[in-house]
């Protein structure tokens, strides 16, 4: 991989840059495919599934952290950023995977976790030994109150509980507190420290030099904290940081990413970034994707929107308007490894307005989920997401129609959220259950036959009806829908610019892009469809005489259904 000379290099024209229209498939490697029978997914299992991923029709893969880790937070507690967790494989396996993915015309994004390390990271171990300069790499502060026995401020962990833990000095005396906005095993790094900045720029180069095409940046909004670490007005940052909080979305963070962008642009082809930034508005989100900063950022308002046309339309309009201000594509996503799978989010009653975070309601809701309805809506939602201009991310298993597994026994749950919330939040294990590939009983081909261990989370017996092998040959399957939509998106939508809304009845939305129209019906009644060849529909359409057109047959778009129509360019 050639490394171009320093600044002043010619940048590849961005007009047709792959990252502006790509569909990226998220691989939560721990639950994707297990090649060695230990019940945990691994790189060689992923390598074996590359033909499946290539045949799906995506452009790139995003692999969740595969670095050495105690796995206290599913690998987001990194102990060495330049190696591979032995459970997942070796660096040689990773390099072979990169070669083979590129050989299948799939780009590869890794996950980088700059906000914090694992407590097992050598840097933090040095800090515990109070080695010179070691504590300055993290956020250590003196406690407050009598004997400094209270935390330095009122911040709470995203997972629940306080965001501070007090350590004892090597001689056993109570010492300072360190900040962890997530689990205690994830000490926050001090990004004012030039050593921290230099280390992560070197980590980027380590993987870029090995051919990695880019990074998803974990907690991109968290690296810089407000000076003085003041108390927050609302101590609990909230899972989605929609209220201003001194721990999140500080302006100082952008200088870091301008430096990262310079590094990415020095490679040929240039490397790219996608930000995980949970911020209060799309105006704030746009700050991360200015032309000299990151390329893309997940559009989480779309993910958080209820299945309601008006709400989704206003989210789409706001997202596109703010992204366009900085000449960035919008990045649509419906699910990931942190939220309730959308087939379940859509399976309960939907409010007409946005609730601060829909999936919490779904996650804790005691309303029975109508999964058949949720899957029908998920089929319609993916035709909406893939028709929109910009980038789309798919979370592993959504192409199989998987819903959230909501009955994992408490003693088998591994998400730190479950413990830190005092068992009030079931956590995120329900969207991380190992995939069903084949067979009629667990492990459903996730592990080899006669594997030595069960999958690390239990799979529902009902997944026998969702195995990928059975869906391969079924034209009505979710897998067939995803494959067709990705193919038709490439043929009819990529390269076409903005959308143009088309008038449609209340509770529906319709827009034109190029010669294609996308119609979405979120109501419980059918609506008339305009003339045009139906390219694809998420559920069967209804034809025949309709009340609104007495003389000629017309198609109706059923409830909770989307359709792509090929209409003459007008």
Question: Site residues (CB under 6 A) for ligand TEU?
Answer: 73, 76, 113, 158, 182, 218-219, 239-240, 276, 278, 337-339
Place of tokens 């028709």: 387
Rounded Cα–Cα distance for residues 352 and 174 (Å): 52
Handedness of CA 101, 102, 104, 107 (dihedral sign): positive
CB of 29 to ligand TEU, least distance (A): 13
Cβ nearer to ligand TEU, comparing 203 with 239: 239
Shortest separation between residue 185's beta carbon and ligand TEU, angstroms: 11
Least distance from ligand TEU to the Cβ atom of residue 220, Å: 9
| Residue with smaller CB distance to ligand TEU, 59 or 338 | 338
Nearer to ligand TEU, 114 or 401 (CB): 114
Burial class (CB in 10 A: 0-12, 13-18, 19+), 80: middle
Q: Which residue has the tokens 């390329």?
A: 295
Q: Which is nearer to ligand TEU, 313 or 361 (CB)?
A: 361
* 362/359 Cα distance (integer angstroms): 5
- For 12, other C-beta atoms within 10 Å of its C-beta total 14
| Least gap, CB of 356 to ligand TEU (angstroms) | 12
Least distance between ligand TEU and beta carbon 102 (Å): 26
CB 64 within 8 A of CB 435: no
Nearest Cα residue to 201 out of 287, 273, 123? 273
Of residues 215 and 278, the one with the C-beta less far from ligand TEU: 278
User: In DSSP terms, which residues pair with 123 in a beta bridge?
Assistant: none
Smallest Cα–Cα separation from 241: which of 221, 225, 255?
A: 221
* Comparison of 216 and 513: residue with beta carbon closer to ligand TEU: 216
Nearest approach, Cβ of 353 to ligand TEU (angstroms)? 20
Whole-number minimum distance, CB 409 to ligand TEU, in Å?
A: 21
Cα(470)–Cα(481) distance, rounded to whole angstroms? 14
Shortest spacing between CB 332 and ligand TEU, in angstroms: 17
Dihedrals phi, psi of 375, to nearest 5 degrees: -70, -40
Tokens, residue 76? 């987001």
Size of the chain in residues: 570
User: What DSSP character marks residue 39?
Assistant: S
Tell me the residue number closest to ligand TEU, measured at CB. Answer: 76
**Plot region of 218 (φ>0 → left; ψ -120 to 50 → alpha; else → beta):** beta
Query: Closer to ligand TEU at the Cβ: 404 or 560?
Result: 404
Query: Min. distance of Cβ 427 from ligand TEU in angstroms?
Result: 9
Segment (H or E) for 477 = none
Strands 214-217 and 140-141: unpaired
Nearest CB to ligand TEU, comparing residues 55 and 281: 281
DSSP state of 5: -
Beta-ladder partners of 512: 500, 517
Residue 312 Cβ vs ligand TEU, minimum distance, rounded to whole Å: 20
Beta bridge partners of 189: 138
- Considering the complex, what minimum distance in angstroms separates the CB of residue 276 from ligand TEU? 6
- Look at the block and give the residue holding tokens 């914090």: 116
Of the two residues 112 and 328, which places its CB atom closer to ligand TEU in the complex? 112
Residue with smaller CB distance to ligand TEU, 347 or 529 = 347
**Strand order from edge to edge, sheet including 549-557:** 527-528, 549-557, 542-546
- Cα separation, 301 vs 98, whole angstroms: 32
Nearest to 277 by CA among 260, 257, 305: 257
Of residues 69 and 556, the one with the C-beta less far from ligand TEU:
69
Quote the tokens at residue 490: 């490439």
């Amino acid at each position: 991989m050639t490394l171009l000379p320093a600044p002043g290099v010619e940048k590849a024209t961005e007009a047709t840059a792959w990252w502006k229209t790509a569909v990226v498939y998220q691989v939560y490697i721990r639950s994707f495919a297990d090649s060695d029978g230990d019940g945990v997914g691994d790189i060689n299992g992923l390598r074996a599934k590359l033909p499946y991923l290539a045949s799906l029709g995506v452009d790139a893969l995003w692999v969740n952290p595969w670095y050495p880790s105690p796995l206290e937070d599913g690998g987001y507690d990194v102990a060495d950023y330049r190696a591979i967790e032995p459970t997942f494989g070796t660096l040689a396996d990773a390099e072979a995977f990169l070669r083979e993915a590129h050989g299948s015309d799939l780009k590869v994004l890794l996950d980088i976790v700059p906000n914090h390390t694992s407590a097992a990271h050598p840097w933090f171990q040095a800090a515990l030994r109070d080695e010179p300069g070691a504590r300055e790499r993290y956020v250590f502060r003196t406690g407050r109150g009598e004997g400094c026995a209270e935390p330095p401020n009122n911040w709470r962990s995203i997972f629940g509980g306080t965001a501070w833990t007090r350590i004892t000095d090597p001689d056993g005396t109570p010492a300072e507190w360190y900040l962890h906005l997530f689990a205690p095993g994830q000490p926050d790094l001090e990004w004012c420290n030039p050593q921290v900045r230099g280390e992560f720029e070197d980590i980027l180069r380590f993987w870029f030099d090995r051919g990695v095409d880019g990074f998803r940046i974990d907690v991109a909004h968290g690296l810089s904290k407000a000076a003085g670490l003041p108390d927050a007005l609302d101590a609990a940052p909230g899972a989605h940081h929609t209220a201003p909080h001194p721990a999140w979305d500080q302006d100082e963070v952008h200088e870091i990413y301008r430096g990262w962008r310079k590094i990415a642009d020095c490679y040929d082809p240039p490397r790219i970034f996608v930000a995980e930034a949970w911020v209060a508005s799309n105006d704030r989100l746009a700050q991360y994707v200015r032309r000299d900063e990151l390329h893309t950022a997940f559009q989480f308002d779309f993910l958080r929107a209820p299945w309601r046309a008006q709400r989704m339309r206003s989210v789409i309009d706001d997202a596109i308007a703010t992204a366009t201000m900085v000449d960035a594509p919008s990045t649509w996503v419906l699910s990931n490894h942190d939220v309730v799978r959308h087939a379940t989010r859509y399976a309960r009653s939907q409010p007409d307005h946005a609730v601060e975070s829909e999936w919490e309601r779904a996650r804790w809701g005691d309303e029975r989920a109508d999964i058949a309805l949720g899957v029908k809506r998920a089929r319609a939602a993916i035709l909406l997401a893939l028709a929109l201009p910009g980038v789309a991310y798919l979370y592993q298993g959504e192409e199989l129609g998987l819903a959230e597994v909501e009955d994992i026994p408490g003693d088998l749950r591994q998400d730190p959220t479950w413990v830190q919330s005092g068992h009030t939040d079931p956590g995120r294990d329900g969207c991380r259950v190992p995939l069903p590939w084949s067979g009629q009983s667990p492990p459903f081909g996730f592990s080899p036959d006669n594997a030595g261990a069960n999958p690390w989370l239990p799979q529902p017996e009902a997944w026998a009806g969702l195995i990928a092998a059975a869906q391969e040959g079924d034209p009505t399957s979710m897998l067939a829908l995803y494959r067709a939509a990705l193919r038709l998106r490439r043929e009819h939508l990529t390269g076409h610019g903005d959308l143009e809304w088309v008038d449609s009845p209340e509770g529906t939305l319709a827009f034109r892009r190029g010669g294609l129209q996308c119609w979405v019906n979120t109501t419980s009644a059918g609506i008339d469809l305009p003339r045009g060849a139906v390219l694809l529909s998420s559920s069967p359409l209804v034809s025949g005489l309709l009340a609104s057109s007495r003389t000629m047959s017309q198609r109706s778009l059923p409830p909770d259904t989307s359709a792509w129509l090929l209409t003459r360019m007008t």
